[in-house]
């Protein structure tokens, strides 16, 4: 394990926030105003990390294009946020379920309850990644807002040993545990509203960064046309309606006709649009998409 640069008490995420020292004496409205004021700075801190977030997107995009996978791995709030982002990729972008994967220290039980000490068991990171069949070419994104999760640090090191791309997401300038990652994303959110409660500002920053990585990757892979979610599969009433409205917008069809087109395309928005615009069959639409690696813009324009 890499050397410790700081004691836990010196970590920025563990410092006491002078702006909220007397928060317990405030009214409910004043408490909420304090929380909101602190939250407003988070987006600016994320903006400062965009150059490194961009590097992470390059890693994830290249990995998926070459048939590999992305693994988010974290403990506690960080792990839960990774699992959340990964789980939203298939319904949002019709991705294969293994493109983005979320692993949390302590296993799925830790999603609903705290598994004490799970972050302090680095050997389990190896076991968990092995269970998921981690292989050369995959990308391991370790999430630890304070950098104090030995489990995450070991996951990154193990990924590098296996020939994977690696990324370390932090909310402190110097982590408790260093890791030799290809990309290090530091979003310095500062002391929390409630001292050490990194589910707050640090958690918000983490959610923003993960959204940016996964969404930008999907755009790079042709899952979006304009800003429309054209690769969704209409698997429920909400998505059926959204898909129908997207087809309306891109083809000029009336709602009922757009819905018929969607159903004729086996509920694939992309294929429905191609079938209407190119006056072709579903099989032909699928062939056109395959030839253009899924990029709808290349077919329509």
Among residues 1, 15, 32, 36, which one has the least CA distance to residue 196? 15
- The partner residues of 225 in beta bridges, in order of sequence, read 228
Would you state the structure tokens that stand for residue 202, as one six-digit string?
A: 């640090």
Instruction: Say whether 107 sits in a helix, a strand or coil.
Output: coil
**Is residue 30 annotated as a catalytic residue, yes or no?**
no
**Is residue 286 annotated as a catalytic residue, yes or no?**
no
Which one is catalytic: 119, 178, 192, 259?
A: 119
- The partner residues of 142 in beta bridges, in order of sequence, read 73, 168
Does residue 119 contact residue 105 with C-beta atoms inside 8 Å?
yes
Residue 194 burial by CB count (10 A; 0-12/13-18/19+): exposed, middle or buried? middle
Residue 168 sits at the vertex; the CA angle it makes with 165 and 169, to the nearest 5 degrees, is: 135
Which one is catalytic: 58, 88, 257, 292?
A: 88
Longest dimension (CA), the chain: 68
Among residues 115, 92, 94, 93, which one has the least CA distance to residue 103? 115
Q: What sign has the CA pseudo-torsion 123, 125, 128, 132?
A: negative
Does residue 272 contact residue 264 with C-beta atoms inside 8 Å?
yes
Q: Which residues are catalytic?
A: 88, 119
């Amino acid at each position: 394990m890499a050397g410790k640069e700081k004691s836990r008490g010196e970590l920025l995420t563990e410092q006491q926030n002078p702006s909220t020292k007397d928060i317990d004496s405030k009214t409910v409205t004043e408490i909420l105003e304090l929380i909101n004021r602190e939250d407003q700075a988070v987006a600016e801190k994320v903006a400062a990390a965009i150059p490194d977030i961009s590097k992470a997107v390059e890693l994830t995009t290249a990995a998926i294009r070459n048939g590999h996978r992305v693994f988010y791995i974290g403990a506690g709030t960080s792990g839960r946020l990774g699992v959340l982002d990964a789980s939203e990729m298939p319904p949002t972008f019709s991705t294969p379920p293994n493109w983005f994967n979320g692993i949390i220290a302590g296993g799925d039980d830790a999603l609903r309850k705290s598994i004490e000490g799970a972050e302090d068991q680095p050997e389990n990171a190896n076991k968990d990644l092995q269970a998921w069949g981690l292989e050369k070419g995959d990308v391991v994104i370790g999430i630890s807002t304070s950098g104090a999760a030995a489990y995450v640090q070991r996951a990154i090191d193990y990924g590098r040993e296996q020939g994977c791309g690696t990324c370390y997401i932090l909310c402190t300038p110097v982590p408790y545990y260093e890791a030799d990652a290809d990309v290090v994303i530091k979003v310095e959110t500062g002391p929390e509203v409630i001292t050490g409660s990194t589910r707050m500002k640090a958690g918000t920053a983490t959610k923003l960064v993960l959204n940016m990585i996964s969404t930008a990757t999907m755009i790079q892979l042709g899952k979006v046309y304009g800003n429309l979610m054209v690769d969704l599969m209409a698997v429920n009433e909400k998505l059926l309606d959204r898909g129908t409205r997207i087809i309306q917008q891109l083809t000029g069809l009336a709602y009922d006709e757009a819905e018929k087109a969607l159903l004729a395309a086996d509920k694939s928005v992309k294929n429905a649009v191609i079938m209407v615009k190119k006056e072709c069959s579903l099989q032909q639409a699928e062939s056109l998409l395959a030839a253009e690696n899924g990029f709808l813009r290349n077919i329509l324009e």
